[in-house]
C-alpha cells in the first residue's frame, strides 16, 4: 500500500513543497522542491531511505540544517547598518531633525531611517549623540536629558 504526506510553506518569495511517500512497506521517498513566485526552481532533491530509519534521519537533518543556518550571518535589512557615522551624516541627521516640520517623531525617525538606510533604533540613538531630543522633532536635547545621557545640551558629542 502506498501513502503520501504532503506539505508546503512559503518563505519570502519561495514556496517549498515536501512530500513523503512510502512506495513499499520498506522504503520512504522524500521529494523537496522550492520555487519563486515567478515559477523559477530554486531547490530540488530526492531522498530514499528505509522506513525504520526515517525518524533518526529526520533528527539528523534537523541538526545539520540548524547548525548550517547558524554559520551564515543574516543580512541586515539596512544597507548602512554597523557602518561608522561620518561628520556629514551627523550634520545631515541634526539639520533634518532641527528643521521645522509637522511630522511626528516616529514619522520623522522612519523617514530618516529610510533615507540613511539605518534602523529606527540607530537613528534615535544617534539623535541624542548629536544633541537632538529624539522624542521631539525640532528640539535640541535639554540640559536634563543631556545630563541623563552624559552629553552636553545642544552640541554634538565627539565622534564615537
**Tens-place pLDDT, residues 33-55:** 999 999 999 999 999 999 888 88
* Full residue range of the structural domain in which residue 140 is found: 87-149
Say if residues 112 and 93 touch (Cβ distance below 8 Å): yes
User: For 125-139, what is each residue's pLDDT tens digit?
Assistant: 999 999 999 999 999
Whether 129 is in a domain gets the answer: yes
Task: Provide the whole-model pTM.
Answer: 0.50
61's grid cell: 537533518
d(CA 127, CA 95): 11
Q: Is 140's pLDDT higher than 70? A: yes
Q: What is the CATH number of the domain that holds 12?
A: 2.20.25
pLDDT confidence of residue 35: 95
Distances (CA, A) of 90 to 15, 53, 55: 42, 60, 56
**For range 22-42, the mean pLDDT:** 89
Using the 3D structure, point to which of 55, 78, 96 is the last residue of a domain.
Answer: 55
Are the C-beta atoms of residues 51 and 22 closer than 8 Å to each other?
Answer: yes
Confidence at residue 84, expressed as pLDDT on a 0 to 100 scale: 94
Q: Are 137 and 108 in contact (CB under 8 A)?
A: yes
Does the residue 130 lie in any domain? yes
* pLDDT at residue 159, as a whole number: 40
Cα–Cα dist 154/17, whole Å:
57
The C-alpha cell at 90 is: 551627523
Backbone angles phi, psi at 145, to 5 degrees: -60, -40
* Domain tally, the chain: 2
Amino acid at each position: 500500500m502506498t501513502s503520501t504526506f504532503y506539505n508546503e510553506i512559503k518563505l519570502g518569495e519561495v514556496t517549498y513543497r515536501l512530500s513523503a511517500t512510502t512506495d513499499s512497506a520498506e522504503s520512504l521517498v522524500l521529494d523537496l522542491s522550492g520555487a519563486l513566485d515567478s515559477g523559477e526552481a530554486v531547490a530540488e532533491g530526492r531522498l530514499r531511505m528505509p522506513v525504520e530509519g526515517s525518524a533518526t534521519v529526520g533528527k539528523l537533518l534537523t541538526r545539520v540544517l540548524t547548525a548550517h543556518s547558524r554559520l551564515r550571518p543574516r543580512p541586515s535589512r539596512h544597507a548602512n547598518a554597523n557602518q561608522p557615522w561620518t561628520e556629514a551624516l551627523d550634520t545631515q541627521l541634526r539639520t533634518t531633525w532641527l528643521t521645522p516640520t509637522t511630522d511626528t517623531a516616529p514619522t520623522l525617525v522612519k523617514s530618516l531611517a529610510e533615507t540613511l538606510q539605518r534602523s529606527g533604533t540607530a537613528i534615535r540613538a544617534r539623535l541624542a549623540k548629536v544633541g537632538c531630543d529624539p522624542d521631539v522633532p525640532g528640539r535640541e536635547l535639554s540640559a536634563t536629558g543631556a545630563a541623563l545621557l552624559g552629553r552636553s545640551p545642544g552640541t554634538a558629542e565627539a565622534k564615537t
